[in-house]
Amino acid sequence: MMSVVHGIERIVEAVGWVARWCVLLLVLLVAFNVLGRNFLGFSSVAFQEFEWHLLSPIALIGMAYTLKHRADVRVDFLYEKFRPRVRAGIDLFSAIATCAVGGFIAWVAFPYVMQSYRIGEGSPDPGGLSYRYLLKSLLVIGFGLFALQGVADTLRALCTLATKEGGEQTP
C-alpha cells in the first residue's frame, strides 16, 4: 500500500512544482506590470489578466501540495498529545473527508469546464486572454489532485492502523 502512497505523492510533488514556479512568475509579472505602467507608460490587459490567471494554479494545484507537506492548518496542540493509533484514526477521518470534498468539487466543476470549452470562452475584455476554459480546467485538476492526496493520506492512515503497535508509517 505504501508504494501506491509514494506514487501518488510523486505526482502531487511534480505538479506542485508547477505551482511553485507560478509564484515566481507572478512576482516577476507584477513587478514588470508596475514598472511598465509607472515608468514606461506601458499597460497591457493581457498581462494584467495573466496575473490572476497565475493565481489559479498557485491556489488550486497548491492545495494538494500543501496538504502533502502538512503545511495546512491543524490544531496540533491537541493532536500531538494523542497516541499514534488515535492520530491515525483522526488522519483517516480527515483523509476520507478530503477525498469526498475534493472528488465532489472536481465532479461538479467538470460540466462547468466543458461548457466553457464548448463555447470557446475567452476574456470579455478587448486585448484579454483567450482560452479561459484552460484556466477553469484547473478547478477539476486542482480538486482532483486534492482528492488524490486524500487517497494517499487514507492509505497511510490505514497502514498505521494495521501495524501491531500503531507506529507511524514514514512517507
pLDDT in tens, 56-83: 999 999 999 999 998 877 777 788 889 9
CA distance 65 to 71: 9
CA distance 107 to 101: 10
* Angle between helix 132-162 and 84-118 (nearest 10): 160
Q: What is the DSSP letter of 60?
A: I
In this prediction, the residues of the chain whose per-residue pLDDT falls under 50 are: 170-171
- Our measurement of the distance from residue 27's CA atom to the centroid of its chain's CA atoms, rounded to an integer in Å, reads 19
pLDDT at residue 42 in the model:
86
Tally Cβ neighbours within 10 Å of residue 127: 12
Q: What sign for the dihedral angle of Cα 50, 52, 53, 58?
A: positive
The pTM score is 0.86
